[in-house]
Amino acid sequence: MNDVRRLKILVADDTDTDRLILESIVRKEGHQVVSACNGLEAIQVYSAEKPDIVLLDALMPELDGFGAARKIKELAGDELVPIIFLTSLSDTESLVQCLDAGGDDFLSKPYNRIILQAKIKSFNRMREMHSTMLTQRNQIVQYNNRLLQEQTVAKHVFDNVAHSGCLNASNVRYFLSSLAVFNGDVLVAAMRPNGSMMVLLGDFTGHGLPAAIGAMPLASTFYGMVPKGFSMTDILREINGKLKNILPVGIFCCATMMDINFRKKRLKIWNGGLPDCFIYHHQEGNITPVKSTHLPLGVLSNRAFKDNCEYFELQKEDRIFVWSDGIHEARNADGDMFGEGRLKEVFSRNSNPELLFADIIEAVQQFVGSGEKDDDLSLLEIRMDEPARVNSFAKEASDKFGNSEIEWAMRFEVKPTSFKVFDPLPMLLNVLMEVPSLRAFSSTLYTILAELYTNALEHGVLKLDSELKKTPDGFSDYYELREQRINQVTEGFVRINISHKTNENGGLLKVRIEDSGEGFDHQQRSTDNLSSFGYSGRGIALVEKLCGTVTYLGCGNIVEVAFSWASDD
């Protein structure tokens, strides 16, 4: 039974008789034979023929078997070429000499065909395994090189995208080790138009390029939206949505985001998945932890995303400490983790808050010891201070705040040919949504605009009577009539005036809608229709509840509402 494929076997023996016998045996086994009569010839034939297995006589003239074996092993390099010594040497010393020279086995004289067959089979198996291993090893080297390349790209992208923004402010200290960055930590910070500072510390799952990929949309969204005045919750939501859409399942970003208002000494903070942040109170010398109360970014759909934040009133010199899990999970030589306990100890041991930042880093580095090449540390400290002492931008914004009224107004008229085919509401709402602060009130504003516009169009221009809607039959009559009249209308208008003015606390949005109708006797209007049971009539009452005021002007064909909003910054 011979299930070895046809091999090429080198037979090197200086005794003609022995060589002849061996050649015949090998041939009879179905293999190809190449021969040599001495050590030098063996090396030559090996180089030329590259046989799979070598049978080498130990004692030969010119160069003996040992020398030939060494040379052949050298020539083979990485590959495994089994060398079987042919010898009737039986003393241990000689046999050891054979092995030392690179021999893998012996075959004693007289040659036994069965034994040789078994050895060939066994060595062939070994050869094939070895060959597989080499192929796989080469593949691994290739993949490894590719990985290194990717990491270089990742680092490059990271360095360019996740730049530090306004982290050079005088009351900010941060430390991001390169291993932390490699492990997916990202820190972005920028100043808002009102002089507040917005900061986000993120920790992406994964390492290297997969982690860096998430940093790109995060940073570009952040740096795009902050200078435009968007609120922290808007930005969080936007980032969450982008990450959820782009990143595969299982890749997400634990993050802490903060809005620090130096003028009002107020902190707004959202923690999704990072360890507790600490607020260090200067006066009392104690710590308030801010726990993670949310899932990380990129996990939930925007519908399920929770953007509720925690608010803290701070005093000057209070410090906020934010970190990723690198500190808590730093391990020493015994495998123990640094943990929150030791971190709290650093705070309680400390006598000079100014040194807390350095103390923390030193404590971790000492704990880990000198074994680690690099630590996985991300640490951020922000100290509450006067806007003027933060940076020039904060100072300017704060100085400007007294005169910071921004005002605009727009007018839009819907003409007869548009009534049937054009609904101005989505467009108007879109314009309003471009005002960052109004975004939070989108459904409220839509309700108001929709109610006022509908009234203006239906009662004013189309002259439909809302009395009709008091009965179920009347309802369908009403809408039939509406359909009829809107198809036939040739004159009339609805004019929409919107103006917006910001002030110290927020802003005032005024909407005024004028229709070409005859108005109505607004003095007689009952003021509390919200609780009435009719099929209609709650609209205006609702608008009244939502807005500060609802005023009718002219003959009742002009309605004006004022919607005032307060910023929660």
Residues that bind other proteins in the complex, under the rule CB under 8 A: 14-18, 20-21, 24-25, 28, 59, 88-89, 109-111, 113
What's the min distance (Å) between Cβ of 88 and other proteins? Answer: 5
Q: Which CB sits closer to other proteins, 18 or 396?
A: 18
- From edge to edge, which strands make up the β-sheet containing 310-313? 185-191, 197-204, 253-261, 266-272, 310-313
Residues in contact with 405: Cβ distance below 8 Å, sequence separation at least 6, in sequence order = 501, 502, 503
What's the min distance (Å) between Cβ of 20 and other proteins? Answer: 6
What's the min distance (Å) between Cβ of 36 and other proteins? Answer: 16
Q: Which residues pair with 173 in a beta bridge?
A: 381
Residue 327 three-state SS: coil
Rounded to 5°, angle at Cα 256 from 254 and 258? 160
Whether the Cβ atoms of residue 198 and residue 258 lie closer than 8 Å to each other = yes
Q: Which CB sits closer to other proteins, 41 or 317?
A: 41
Q: Which CB sits closer to other proteins, 116 or 251?
A: 116
Residue 137 three-state SS: helix
Amino acid making up residue 406: I
- Joined tokens for residue 538: 């709650």
Dihedral sign for Cα 485, 488, 491, 495, please: positive
What's the min distance (Å) between Cβ of 116 and other proteins? Answer: 11
Selection from 371, 373, 375, 352 nearest residue 363 by Cα: 375
Residue 299 three-state SS: coil
Whether the Cβ atoms of residue 251 and residue 206 lie closer than 8 Å to each other = yes
What's the min distance (Å) between Cβ of 86 and other proteins? Answer: 8
Main-chain dihedrals φ then ψ at residue 417, nearest 5 degrees: -70, -15
What's the min distance (Å) between Cβ of 19 and other proteins? Answer: 9
Selection from 31, 20, 202 nearest residue 111 by Cα: 20
Rounded to 5°, angle at Cα 540 from 539 and 545? 100
Nearest-angstrom CA–CA distance, 19 and 352: 89
Rounded to 5°, angle at Cα 434 from 432 and 437? 80
Q: Which CB sits closer to other proteins, 11 or 191?
A: 11
Q: Which CB sits closer to other proteins, 15 or 466?
A: 15
Q: Which CB sits closer to other proteins, 111 or 535?
A: 111
Q: Which CB sits closer to other proteins, 26 or 200?
A: 26
What's the min distance (Å) between Cβ of 16 and other proteins? Answer: 5
What's the min distance (Å) between Cβ of 58 and other proteins? Answer: 9
What's the min distance (Å) between Cβ of 63 and other proteins? Answer: 14
Q: Which CB sits closer to other proteins, 68 or 254?
A: 68
Q: Which CB sits closer to other proteins, 88 or 505?
A: 88
Pairing, β 310-313 against β 287-290: unpaired
Selection from 287, 265, 260 nearest residue 276 by Cα: 287
Nearest-angstrom CA–CA distance, 256 and 322: 8
Q: Which CB sits closer to other proteins, 14 or 318?
A: 14
Q: Which CB sits closer to other proteins, 111 or 552?
A: 111
- In this structure, the number of other CB atoms found within 10 A of the CB of residue 331 comes to 15
What's the min distance (Å) between Cβ of 72 and other proteins? Answer: 21
Amino acid making up residue 470: K
Nearest-angstrom CA–CA distance, 231 and 259: 9
Whether the Cβ atoms of residue 368 and residue 331 lie closer than 8 Å to each other = yes
Nearest-angstrom CA–CA distance, 557 and 456: 8
Residue 459 three-state SS: helix
What's the min distance (Å) between Cβ of 114 and other proteins? Answer: 10
Q: Which CB sits closer to other proteins, 86 or 364?
A: 86
What's the min distance (Å) between Cβ of 144 and other proteins? Answer: 50
What's the min distance (Å) between Cβ of 61 and other proteins? Answer: 9
Amino acid making up residue 314: L
What's the min distance (Å) between Cβ of 107 and other proteins? Answer: 11
Alpha-carbon dihedral angle through residues 174, 175, 180, 181, given to the nearest 10 degrees: 60
Q: Which CB sits closer to other proteins, 120 or 254?
A: 120
Rg (CA), the chain: 42
Q: Which CB sits closer to other proteins, 59 or 450?
A: 59
End-to-end CA distance of the chain: 87
- Joined tokens for residue 421: 């085919």
Selection from 37, 113, 103 nearest residue 71 by Cα: 103
